[in-house]
Structure 1
């Protein structure tokens, strides 16, 4: 099984477009699972005909504090590195936005005043497109602050018998992006040949370097200005895997929810040759 993450330093570069095209191409003769890990704004499902879909809640740990047992010693507050608990003389406040559900408070309470509860943070949707193409995505509840627990739950759905897992990562180079790509075999960074595209590409390359992950570049909306990306790729020792030409016709089809993986024959050949 190969895990391929599709990421970008910013939104709107064509990351989802490439994820869908690559998944469709590879699933012609291989088993593929596409994960849309942009849990704050998933959109792959809008462009796919998903069948046999199942949905369930995603819940995370929440400490339940019995104030009758609590002696307000403060050990739970001390162990929490993210300050999600505030122990006062006669009460304990819990800040769900800060909680990284590690259960440390549960372990250190000497009075057994903390028990395990849970709270809903979103939904997980699983389904398939055809016998070779499976698709999962998660969507975070409004008001939730942390995407990582949903991405972790989403990735737990990888069965292990897939030939390819394609992970459409969240945009940017932040914690959700790191969670999405951190155990991938290869990460494709989609960029555009503009100064803004180059700036964000450099940030994403730096993050992947810190993680020790291999990566390459796909240039979207490729025209005569590709040199700005090509020069950087050469200096950084990065491979340009493929280029997606600028096409108003392709953009028009995309706006209607149509992804034609063979619209650019040369692109399809380049992608299949690189990832096969």
Structure 2
């Protein structure tokens, strides 16, 4: 089972929850938040290997190019433009679709590799960990996310999704069998959680909610879950102690006061997702 951990907005504690649950359940952790992959800071795995991720971008050969402009018209992403006596490439807009070569009757298009990021794999004492890292200045995270998730083994994994509900999240969620939505008890948290729920529903996969920084009152998120019959998997209380542990890069589940909380959440997950 692939369990996606997502949130409608950043800063809710998605990575805190996913890393602590991964350790509690001894389940491999995959960090798909490739623009800001923070999970390794807390899990601190020993790196075992690393590989670069490439896109294929076109090269237009002037000696054979007839400047017909067919490649420019075919590019839906405006990565090519006809400027005077040459075809100009804006390589960071290229999506590696290959349409430019298909329409070039002069056979003036070839491809070269362009590195956009990397994938790292490592291991803690208990679990396997993987993450994607997007190179600074690169605009497209999806190719790294797809490569990271395309060859996952059948065993259960935690997929730490990017924040929000963008195409990066959609491409992470496509591989999931269940979803955990992490939110906080605030107007913004509730609003964006509802957006994330609508996204999860499109994939018809079971889901549940975890409240982070819980104020331990009958707050708006708990009321929403009760009224909408949304499974509430548990709540991580807001405390100064948690903030101190987090700021030092520590794991909450290794502290006695929080260990039981994550163990109870893990049991609730198995009940809601019918997962053994």
Partner of 1:113: 108
Q: Deviations over 1:42-79 (max 9, x none)?
A: 11111123124212221111111111111122221222
Partner of 1:17: 16
Is 1:222 matched with 2:219?
Answer: no
Q: Deviations over 1:121-150 (max 9, x none)?
A: 1121111113x5111112111111111111
Q: Secondary structure at the match of 1:72?
A: coil
Q: Secondary structure at the match of 2:35?
A: coil
TM-score (structure 1 length as normaliser): 0.90
Q: Secondary structure at the match of 1:205?
A: helix
Aligned residue pair count: 268
Mapped to 2, the partners of 1:106 and 1:235 lie a distance apart of 54
TM-score (structure 2 length as normaliser): 0.90
Partner of 1:26: 25
Mapped to 2, the partners of 1:270 and 1:153 lie a distance apart of 30
Q: Is the 8 A contact 2:79 2:93 kept in 1?
A: yes
Partner of 2:262: 267
Q: Secondary structure at the match of 2:124?
A: strand
Mapped to 2, the partners of 1:272 and 1:118 lie a distance apart of 46
Quote the RMSD (CA, aligned, Å): 1.8
Partner of 2:5: 6
Mapped to 1, the partners of 2:74 and 2:187 lie a distance apart of 45
Q: Against the structure 1 CA distance between its residues 224 and 242, is the aligned structure 2 distance closer, same or farther, given a 3 Å change threshold?
A: closer
Partner of 1:84: 79
Q: Deviations over 1:75-117 (max 9, x none)?
A: 2122222111113452111122322211121222112111121
Mapped to 1, the partners of 2:123 and 2:230 lie a distance apart of 34
Partner of 1:243: 235
Q: Secondary structure at the match of 2:40?
A: helix
Q: Is the 8 A contact 1:193 1:226 kept in 2?
A: no
Partner of 1:143: 137
Structure 1 counterpart of 2:35, from 12, 22, 40: 40
